[in-house]
Chain A
Amino acid sequence: MEFLVVSVLNGVVHGLLLFMVSAGLTLIFGMMGVLNFAHAWFYMLGAYVGFTLSRTVGFWAGLIAAPIIAGAGGALVERYMLRRVHKYGHAHELLLTFGLAFIIEEVIKLLYGDFPVNYAMPPYMKFAAFTIYETNYPFYRLFMGIVALAMFAVLYVVLTRTRVGIIVRAATYRPVMVEALGHNLPVVFMGVFAAGAGLAGLAGAVAGAFFPTGPNMAVDFGTLVFVVVVVGGLGSLEGALVASLMIGLFISFSVGFSWSLSDVLALVGLGDWARAVGGILTLQLSTIAASMPFLLMLLVLLIRPAGLFGDRQ
C-alpha cells in the first residue's frame, strides 16, 4: 500500500513535469508543423540558468529568469533561424533544431564542464510535507506539482478564454485562414515558440533543483517528451496531459516490479520453457523500464498514429 501511494504521487508529479515541457512542443508542432528537436534543450538551459542565479542572486530569481531567458532564446531561434529555412521544408527545420540542440548542449558543457552541477533547492524548502506509512514525502515534490498545475491552469485560461488564445487555437488548425483574416501569423508563431521554450525553461529551473542537473538531462528527458507528444497525439494539449501522466505513473511503477515475460508465460504453463530459453524472455521489467516508453511510442505510431487525442496524422 505504501509503495502504491508513494508511486502514484511520484508518478503524478513526474507526469506533470513532463507535461510542462511537452505542452510547448505539441503546440509548436500543431501550429508550425515543426517537430522542435531542441525543445528539451531549453529545459536544460532553464536548469542551468536556475543553477547560476541560485548561486549569485537567489533561487527565486532563477525561477523567474529561467523562463524569460529560455523564451527569449526560443524567439530568436524562430525569428532568425527557423524562418530562414522554412522554404526548404519541414525536414530542414527539424534538422536545424537538431543542430541547435547540439550547440546548446556543447556550449553548456563548455561553460559548466562535463559533470552534473550541484543545483539544489534552498534549505528552507527541504522538509517533509507529510508522512505516509513511515515515508516522509518531500515538500519539494509537491511544489513541483503545484507549479506545473498552476502553469496548466494559466495555459488553459489563456488558450480558451482570451482573444490571443482564440487566434493561437485557430492557427493550430487553419494557419492560412487565420493569416487571411489579417492576423500577423509570423508573430503568433514566434510568440508560441517563445512561450513553449519559456515553459520548458521554467520546468528545467524547477525540476533541476530536485533531479540531477547535468549535460545528459536534455537527452534523457527529451526522448521521454517525444514519446509523450507522440502518444498523446501531435498537436493535442489534452493528449499531452494524459500521456504525460500515463508515462509518469508507468515509470514510477515499473522500477519497483521484477516481472518478466517468463512470469507471464508461467501463467499458461510455459514458465520453465521461457526460463530455459532465457534472453529476452527473462529480462525483468525493472531492467527494461527504459525501453518501455519506446515500445509504447512504436505501438501508437503503428496502430493509431494520430495518438490518443490527435485528430490527424
Chain B
Amino acid sequence: MSRWGRLGLLALGAILIVLPLPLTPNLINAAIKMMIAGLFALSFSLAMGQAGMLSFGHSAYYGLGAFATLHLMKAVEGHLLAWPTPLLPLAGAVVGLFFGLVFGWLATQRTGVYFAMVTLALAELLFTLAPTWTSVFGGESGISTMRMNSWAINFATDTGVYYLTLAWVVVSTWCLWAFTRTPMGRLALAVRENEHRVRFLGFNTHGARTVIFGISTMFTGVAGSLLAIANEATNYTIFSAQASANVVLQTFIGGSGTFFGPALGAAVMTFFARVTSDLTRSWLLYQGVIFVIVMLFVPDGIGGLISLHARRLRATAIRHLTVPYLLCLVVGVLLMIGVVFTVESVHVVMSDAYAVLRRTNGGGMVPYPLFGRQFDPWSPWTWAIPVGSILAGAALLPIARRLTRRGWSQALLEKTA
C-alpha cells in the first residue's frame, strides 16, 4: 500500500473515532448502518471480486448471523448463560462460517450463472421457509430482544453500539485484507482468472472455493450480527432477494475490482438511501438509475475510478483535469435536475392527493406543489425547467468529454516528462 493510501486510512480511522462526538443520535445510527453495510459488501466482495463467485444469496448468511445473535442475546437476557455483549458477533461468525461451508460446498460445485442460481435458490428457500418456521425465525413478526450492558460499557445508547461496531468492522476489514495477502487469497485470484489451469497445477479448486466462500460468509455473519445488535430485532425479510440484490448493487457501484471500493459503495449508497428515502418515494428508482449508469459507463465503479487516478497520475498533474471535471460536474447536475424534476413532477401529478385537488377545483389541471412552490402543468415555464436543463446538459456533454480527454492526455504527458 502506498504512503498516501496509508495516511488516508489513518485519517479515516481518526475521523471514525471522534465522529460520534458532534453527531445527533439519528446520524450516529446512520453511521452504524453505513459501517455494517460496508463490512457486508467487503465480505461479499471477497467471494465476488477476489474469487469471481457472483453470489445472489448472501442475504442468507447475513440473516442467519442476525438470527443466531438474537437467539444468543435472548439467552443472555433470560440469564441462561453469561455472554459479554461485545463478543456477540462471534455467534454470527460461527453460524456464517458453518452455513457458508455447508451451502458453499454445494454451490461451488457449479460456476458462473449456475453458481449464482444455486446461491439464489438457497436464499429463496430460507426466505420462503422462515415465516412458517416460527420456533426458529419467529414467524412473520420475527424476534426481538434487548442489549445488555457488559464490561462496564453502556450499550443502551447508540454511541456504545457505534464503538462496538467500529471495533468489529476494523478488525474484520483487517482480517479480510490480510486474507488477500495469504497464499490462499492469491489462489482465489488464480481461480477467478483460470480455474482449469489452477486445477491442472494440482490444486483442489472445489475445496479452495468452498473455503473462500466460507470465509466470505463468516464475515457476512459478523455483519448480520452487528445489525442484530444495532436493531435488537429482525424478521424473515432479512433473507429477501432484495437484501442480496442490495449488496450486489453496492459492491458494483463501489467497484468490485478494488479492495475498499465495495465498502465505499456500500457506505455511500446506504447514506444515499437514508437521506433520499426521507425526501422522496422514488428513491429506489434513482438508485436503479445510478446502478445502470455505473454499469454502462463506469464498469470498474467508484473505487476503480479512484485507483485509476492514483495509479496513472502524479499529484501535480491533477491541475490539468480540474476544469474538465468541473464541467463534467455541471453536466451531471444539469441532467440530474432534469431527471429529478420530471420524476418528482410525475409522482405528484399521478398521486391521489393531486386527484383530490383536481376534483375540488372543477377537474382541470390545477397547479401542483413541488419543492415548496406551485407549478402549472400547462405553463411553458414548467416544461422549460426539465427540457432546458436536459438539453443544456446534452449539449455540454460532448464538450466535457473532449476537454476531459485532452486533460488526460496532458496529465499523462507530465508523468513521462
Provide a sorted-by-A list of 18 A–B residue pairs whose CB atoms are within 8 angstroms. A92-B295, A96-B295, A99-B291, A99-B292, A99-B295, A103-B292, A106-B282, A110-B285, A219-B241, A223-B124, A223-B241, A226-B117, A278-B135, A280-B129, A290-B128, A301-B110, A301-B117, A313-B110
Are A283 and B350 closer than 8 Å at their CB atoms? Answer: no
Q: Which residues on B sit within 8 Å (CB–CB) of A96?
A: 292, 295-296
Contacting residue for B125 out of A109, A287, A291, CB 8 A: A291
Digitize A77-114: 1 where CB-to-B-CB distance is under 8 Å, 0 elsewhere.
00001001100101110111011101100110111110
Q: How far is the CA of A294 from the CA of B123 in the complex (A)?
A: 9
Q: Which residues on B sit within 8 Å (CB–CB) of A113?
A: 350-352
Q: Is A214 an interface residue (CB 8 A)?
A: no
Digitize B121-156: 1 where CB-to-A-CB distance is under 8 Å, 0 elsewhere.
110110011001101100000000000000000000
Are B128 and A288 closer than 8 Å at their CB atoms? Answer: yes
Are B122 and A298 closer than 8 Å at their CB atoms? Answer: yes
Are A99 and B288 closer than 8 Å at their CB atoms? Answer: yes
Q: Is A177 an interface residue (CB 8 A)?
A: no
Q: Is A4 an interface residue (CB 8 A)?
A: no
Contacting residue for A279 out of B54, B120, B136, CB 8 A: B136
Q: In chain B, residues 360-391, which have Cβ atoms closer than 8 Å to a Cβ of chain A?
A: none
Q: How far is the CA of A98 from the CA of B249 in the complex (A)?
A: 9
Q: Is B114 an interface residue (CB 8 A)?
A: yes
Q: How far is the CA of A103 from the CA of B133 in the complex (A)?
A: 33
Q: Given A94-B116, A102-B284, A279 and B133 touching (CB < 8 A)?
A: yes
Are A111 and B350 closer than 8 Å at their CB atoms? Answer: yes
Main secondary structure of the interface of B (DSSP, over half): helix
Are A98 and B248 closer than 8 Å at their CB atoms? Answer: yes
Total B residues in contact with A, Cβ cutoff 8 Å = 43
Contacting residue for B245 out of A85, A90, A98, A290, CB 8 A: A98
Q: How far is the CA of A113 from the CA of B122 in the complex (A)?
A: 32
Q: Is B343 an interface residue (CB 8 A)?
A: yes
- Shortest distance from the beta carbon of A172 to any chain B beta carbon, whole Å: 16
Are B288 and A106 closer than 8 Å at their CB atoms? Answer: yes
Q: Which residues on B sit within 8 Å (CB–CB) of A297?
A: 117, 121
Are A302 and B117 closer than 8 Å at their CB atoms? Answer: no
Q: Is B222 an interface residue (CB 8 A)?
A: no
Q: How far is the CA of A230 from the CA of B117 in the complex (A)?
A: 8
Q: Which residues of B are at the interface with A, using a C-beta cutoff of 8 A?
A: 54, 106, 109-110, 112-114, 116-118, 120-122, 124-125, 128-129, 132-133, 135-136, 241, 245, 248-249, 252, 282, 284-285, 287-289, 291-292, 295-296, 299, 343, 346-347, 350-352
Q: How far is the CA of A230 from the CA of B241 in the complex (A)?
A: 18
Q: Given A99-B291, A107-B285, A302-B118, A283 and B133 touching (CB < 8 A)?
A: yes
Q: How far is the CA of A98 from the CA of B125 in the complex (A)?
A: 20
Q: Is A295 an interface residue (CB 8 A)?
A: yes
- Shortest distance from the beta carbon of A99 to any chain B beta carbon, whole Å: 4
Are B299 and A298 closer than 8 Å at their CB atoms? Answer: no
- Shortest distance from the beta carbon of B336 to any chain A beta carbon, whole Å: 16
Q: Which residues on B sit within 8 Å (CB–CB) of A287?
A: 132
Q: Is A305 an interface residue (CB 8 A)?
A: yes
Are B125 and A298 closer than 8 Å at their CB atoms? Answer: yes
User: Can you name the residue of chain B whose Cβ is closest to the Cβ of A302?
Assistant: B106
Are B114 and A92 closer than 8 Å at their CB atoms? Answer: no
Q: Which residues on A sit within 8 Å (CB–CB) of B120?
A: 226
Are B129 and A291 closer than 8 Å at their CB atoms? Answer: yes
Are B288 and A103 closer than 8 Å at their CB atoms? Answer: yes
- Shortest distance from the beta carbon of A250 to any chain B beta carbon, whole Å: 15
User: Can you name the residue of chain A whose Cβ is closest to the Cβ of B136?
Assistant: A279
Count: A-B pairs, CB below 8 Å: 111
Q: How far is the CA of A91 from the CA of B284 in the complex (A)?
A: 22
- Shortest distance from the beta carbon of A200 to any chain B beta carbon, whole Å: 19
Q: Is A206 an interface residue (CB 8 A)?
A: no
Total A residues in contact with B, Cβ cutoff 8 Å = 44
Q: Which residues on B sit within 8 Å (CB–CB) of A280?
A: 129, 133
Contacting residue for A85 out of B106, B124, B288, B295, CB 8 A: B295
Q: Which residues on A sit within 8 Å (CB–CB) of B133?
A: 279-280, 283
Q: Which residues on B sit within 8 Å (CB–CB) of A90?
A: 112-113
Q: Which residues on A sit within 8 Å (CB–CB) of B136?
A: 279
Q: Given A113-B350, A298-B122, A95 and B252 touching (CB < 8 A)?
A: yes
Q: How far is the CA of A313 from the CA of B110 in the complex (A)?
A: 9
Q: In chain A, residues 269-313, which have Cβ atoms closer than 8 Å to a Cβ of chain B?
A: 278-280, 283, 287-288, 290-291, 294-295, 297-298, 301-302, 305, 313
Q: Given A102-B291, A226-B117, A294-B125, A283 and B54 touching (CB < 8 A)?
A: no
Q: How far is the CA of A287 from the CA of B115 in the complex (A)?
A: 28
Contacting residue for B113 out of A35, A111, A294, A298, CB 8 A: A35
Are B347 and A110 closer than 8 Å at their CB atoms? Answer: yes
Q: Which residues on A sit within 8 Å (CB–CB) of B249?
A: 99
Q: Which residues on B sit within 8 Å (CB–CB) of A88?
A: 299
Are B285 and A279 closer than 8 Å at their CB atoms? Answer: no
Q: Which residues on B sit within 8 Å (CB–CB) of A35?
A: 113, 116
Q: How far is the CA of A5 from the CA of B54 in the complex (A)?
A: 43
Are B296 and A85 closer than 8 Å at their CB atoms? Answer: yes
Are A84 and B296 closer than 8 Å at their CB atoms? Answer: yes
Are A294 and B287 closer than 8 Å at their CB atoms? Answer: no
Are A110 and B343 closer than 8 Å at their CB atoms? Answer: yes
- Shortest distance from the beta carbon of A37 to any chain B beta carbon, whole Å: 10
Q: Which residues on B sit within 8 Å (CB–CB) of A298?
A: 106, 118, 121-122, 125
Digitize A48-70: 1 where CB-to-B-CB distance is under 8 Å, 0 elsewhere.
00000000000000000000000
Are B117 and A111 closer than 8 Å at their CB atoms? Answer: no
User: Can you name the residue of chain A whose Cβ is closest to the Cβ of B347?
Assistant: A110
- Shortest distance from the beta carbon of B357 to any chain A beta carbon, whole Å: 16
Digitize A218-240: 1 where CB-to-B-CB distance is under 8 Å, 0 elsewhere.
01000100100010001000000
Q: How far is the CA of A305 from the CA of B113 in the complex (A)?
A: 11
Q: Which residues on B sit within 8 Å (CB–CB) of A278?
A: 135
Are B287 and A92 closer than 8 Å at their CB atoms? Answer: no
Q: Which residues on B sit within 8 Å (CB–CB) of A94?
A: 54, 113, 116
- Shortest distance from the beta carbon of B48 to any chain A beta carbon, whole Å: 8
Q: How far is the CA of A280 from the CA of B122 in the complex (A)?
A: 16
Are B54 and A106 closer than 8 Å at their CB atoms? Answer: no
Q: Given A91-B54, A95-B252, A110-B343, A313 and B288 touching (CB < 8 A)?
A: no
- Shortest distance from the beta carbon of B231 to any chain A beta carbon, whole Å: 24
- Shortest distance from the beta carbon of B192 to any chain A beta carbon, whole Å: 11
Q: How far is the CA of A301 from the CA of B56 in the complex (A)?
A: 15
Q: How far is the CA of A305 from the CA of B121 in the complex (A)?
A: 13
Are B248 and A95 closer than 8 Å at their CB atoms? Answer: yes
